[in-house]
Structure 1
């Protein structure tokens, strides 16, 4: 299982928005793109998808932009990936009668791995990612006397 570029960019953008969540002000695409080194046009498409998925809200006008629809702690990483990638509970039982024993065993293991990944992703919120990032920033700070 690999994180797609689309998902990585979206999570980076959402982390930026989570950082500014308390201000209550919408963030403009160019602002987010500059902070996270994401191409503007690509980011525009990602944010529109996240808005349609209910993760973001948008505001029109000169002071418009995007903002999180809920608190960062109420948005799971799984929800973000599900919105972007269409992750759903897929079962491979359509051809159950024509499967060999080997294929059935492989599919069982694959389903188990997917369930484990889903469980981990559901347990992490956008706030958890922000907290982890901030704690690592603290570790990177060196004081010289």
Structure 2
């Protein structure tokens, strides 16, 4: 249940888009990549996946780039992670019948852990991350004064 590099980069890119959402202008890949220190080519692939998942929209043209497809307070971290990592169907897990009592116990605990992590990710939105980021920046500024 680690945060993959792929999901971390996607979250960083979406945070950049969420922070820019009020300006109404799209961000270009190279802007996001430079700001978040993400390789351009990799970011391009991630944004394509996010676009197919309906989380971002692309705009063509000289002033083109990417924007969020929805409001930052409506996009949950669970949606993002599921889009990037792919949703493991719980039906596939249910079909895998544990072969022993020990296997059954492990399976039950794993399912409980997965449900708990899904609940936490469902409870946070991009807006929540922006607010946490701003609060952390404010603390850092106060610390240095």
Normalised to the residue count of structure 1, the TM-score between the two structures is 0.94
- 1:3-22 to structure 2, matched below 5 A, reads 3-22=3-22
CA distance in 2, matches of 1:90, 1:44: 30
Structure 2 portions without partners, runs of 5+: none
CA distance in 2, matches of 1:54, 1:107: 32
Match of 2:123 in 1: 123
Aligned residues: 143
Match of 2:36 in 1: 36
Distance 1:89 1:38, change over 3 A: same
Match of 2:94 in 1: 93
Between 108-117 and 135-144, report the one with greater CA deviation. 135-144
Structure 1 portions without partners, runs of 5+: none
Match of 1:104 in 2: 104
Match of 1:62 in 2: 62
Normalised to the residue count of structure 2, the TM-score between the two structures is 0.94
